């Protein structure tokens, strides 16, 4: 998640194959892209995106599109303050044609300005898990760029050493796994509870995501019609949290950083860690020979309920008032038609389309996530529905619980207070 914090603190990105933004400078909207021939009518697609880590690869894709469509120029802008600039450009009359939004709340906030993409030719190929986050009032408004997911990443060799021959699918089985590891003198965890997002966002997301209707439950909490301790699997969440402390670093977990967590797991000091597919590069740099996998975190003893949180970090959307609306749609259609080449092989992303396939080069974590997606065993990133800013605040009482300063009842009471205060803001 460290790699993709753009899902939560949006940093921005994109440079087309003809608009350079070297040195962090912003491309000026309306400027003539380098290499554009003088004279002649050209269709310009104004594009904004916030995925910085694939800048060069997106540049190459844009260049390919323009080479195949010589009458089109893709003009892009990069900034470190994506949300603010996006609003400014709409307000100033220089709105982009194609831009990126996040799921649920973000795409809903922009929905009155977005084109309905429900009938686009690629929409039938969107994975079911990607649909809910971009659907507003029955209209499908987004093009999902990729999937990300998280769970317990585990060391297969250490599991085998402890006599564990299958991953747990229930809370009881997870307890048994921890006991077997303990008997083999293998620490289960070194959880990065120093980081607010590991505890207050990812792990705490689970009980809400496991609700039969997460949107309805969170709406009830927002309206004061339900409380956080009414969430069905909240006790299961605390059971898992207790296990990560008991079979891990204990109260010292609140001092463990993300880097420490990944290092301990990668070097074989711990058998598991609660993280996601974004950790693959960091793990492989430390231990390229590690054999690992990832499984969904159970919160109860019904195996069928155990699913993996999978989300789309960003959707392409189209401004419904775009001057070049049809050309913008054509561009997205082209990206899908060439998705295996660009989204998967070049960008190294986990595809959110059923006709695009995860490749071995994406690694074992991507393979396991894709298995859950293919079986439709996924739950949403429900934290995107929480009141703005609450995820960071939730981490504080949860850290106090891990440290022994609060009991469960006190922790939930503080979470409830934070939630209520945030709804008012």
Distance CA 390, CA 386 (A): 7
CB-CB contact of 259 with 198 (8 Å): no
Q: Can you name the residues that pair with 50 across neighbouring β-strands?
A: 13
Half-sphere exposure of 99 (CA within 13 A, CB side): 29
Q: How many CB atoms lie within 10 A of CB 239?
A: 17
**What pLDDT is stored for residue 13 in this prediction?**
29
Distance CA 73, CA 33 (A): 8
Residue 160's contacts (CB-CB under 8 Å, 6 or more residues apart) are none
**What pLDDT is stored for residue 206 in this prediction?**
98
Tens digits of per-residue pLDDT, 73-108?
Answer: 998 766 657 888 999 999 999 999 999 998 887 898
**What pLDDT is stored for residue 4 in this prediction?**
41
Q: Can you name the residues that pair with 45 across neighbouring β-strands?
A: 74
Nearest-10 Cα torsion for 2, 4, 9, 14: 140
Helix axes of 234-246 and 171-183: crossing angle, nearest 10 degrees: 10
Residue 215 Cα distances to 21, 208, 218, 382, angstroms? 39, 9, 5, 8
pTM of this structure: 0.77
**What pLDDT is stored for residue 40 in this prediction?**
60
User: Longest C-alpha distance within the chain, in Å?
Assistant: 76
CB-CB contact of 59 with 75 (8 Å): no
Going along the chain from its start, the domains and CATH numbers come out as 5-147+312-355 (3.40.190.10), 150-309+383-424 (3.40.190.10)
**What pLDDT is stored for residue 196 in this prediction?**
93
Distance CA 237, CA 112 (A): 37
Backbone region of residue 298 per phi and psi (left: phi > 0; alpha: psi in -120 to 50; beta: other values): beta
**What pLDDT is stored for residue 361 in this prediction?**
87
**What pLDDT is stored for residue 53 in this prediction?**
61
**What pLDDT is stored for residue 316 in this prediction?**
95
Residue 62 Cα distances to 83, 102, 211, angstroms? 23, 22, 41
Mind listing the pLDDT tens digit of every residue in the chain (425 residues)?
444 433 333 222 232 222 223 233 333 333 334 334 444 689 999 988 876 666 778 788 889 999 999 999 998 766 657 888 999 999 999 999 999 998 887 898 899 999 999 999 999 999 988 998 899 999 999 999 999 999 999 999 999 999 999 999 999 999 999 999 999 999 999 999 999 999 999 999 999 999 999 999 999 999 999 999 999 999 999 999 999 999 999 999 999 999 999 999 999 999 999 999 989 888 999 999 999 999 999 999 999 999 999 989 889 999 999 999 999 999 999 999 999 999 999 888 899 999 999 888 899 999 999 999 889 899 989 998 898 889 899 999 999 999 999 999 999 999 999 999 999 86
Q: How many CB atoms lie within 10 A of CB 251?
A: 13
């Amino acid at each position: 998640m460290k790699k993709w914090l753009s899902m939560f603190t949006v940093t921005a990105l994109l440079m087309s194959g003809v608009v350079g933004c070297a040195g962090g400078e912003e491309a000026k909207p309306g400027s003539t892209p380098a290499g554009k021939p003088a004279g002649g009518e050209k269709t310009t697609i104004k594009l904004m995106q916030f995925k910085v880590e694939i800048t060069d690869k997106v540049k190459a894709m844009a260049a390919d599109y323009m080479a195949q469509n010589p009458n089109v120029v893709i003009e892009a802008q990069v900034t470190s303050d994506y949300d603010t600039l996006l609003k400014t450009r709409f307000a100033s009359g220089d709105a982009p044609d194609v831009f990126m939004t996040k799921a649920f709340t973000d795409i809903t906030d922009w929905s009155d300005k977005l084109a309905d993409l429900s009938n686009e030719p690629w929409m039938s190929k969107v994975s079911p898990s990607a649909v809910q986050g971009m659907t507003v009032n029955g209209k499908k408004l987004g093009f999902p760029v990729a999937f990300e997911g998280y769970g317990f990443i585990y060391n297969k060799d250490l599991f085998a050493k402890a006599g564990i021959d299958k991953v747990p699918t229930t809370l009881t089985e997870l307890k048994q796994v921890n006991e077997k590891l303990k008997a083999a003198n293998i620490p289960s965890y070194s959880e990065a509870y120093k980081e607010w997002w590991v505890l207050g966002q990812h792990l705490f997301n689970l009980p809400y995501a496991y609700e039969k209707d997460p949107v309805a439950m969170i709406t009830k909490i927002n309206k004061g019609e339900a409380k956080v301790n009414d969430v069905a699997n909240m006790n299961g969440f605390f059971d898992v949290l207790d296990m990560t402390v008991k079979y891990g670093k204990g109260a010292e977990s609140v001092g463990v950083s993300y880097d420490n967590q990944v290092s301990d797991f990668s070097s074989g000091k711990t058998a598991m860690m609660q993280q996601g597919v974004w950790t693959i590069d960091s793990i492989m740099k430390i231990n390229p020979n590690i054999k690992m996998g990832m499984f969904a975190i159970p919160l109860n003893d019904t195996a069928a309920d155990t699913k993996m949180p999978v989300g789309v970090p960003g959707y392409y959307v189209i401004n419904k008032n775009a001057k070049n609306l049809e050309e913008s749609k054509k561009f997205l259609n082209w990206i899908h038609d060439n998705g295996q080449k660009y989204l998967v092989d070049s960008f190294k992303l986990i595809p959110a389309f059923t006709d695009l396939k995860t490749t071995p080069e994406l690694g074992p974590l991507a393979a396991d996530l894709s298995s859950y997606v293919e079986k439709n065993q996924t739950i949403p990133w429900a934290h995107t529905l929480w009141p703005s800013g609450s995820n960071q605040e939730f981490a504080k009482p949860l850290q106090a619980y891990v440290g022994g300063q609060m009991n469960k009842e006190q922790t939930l009471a503080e979470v409830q207070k934070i939630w209520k205060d945030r709804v008012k803001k």
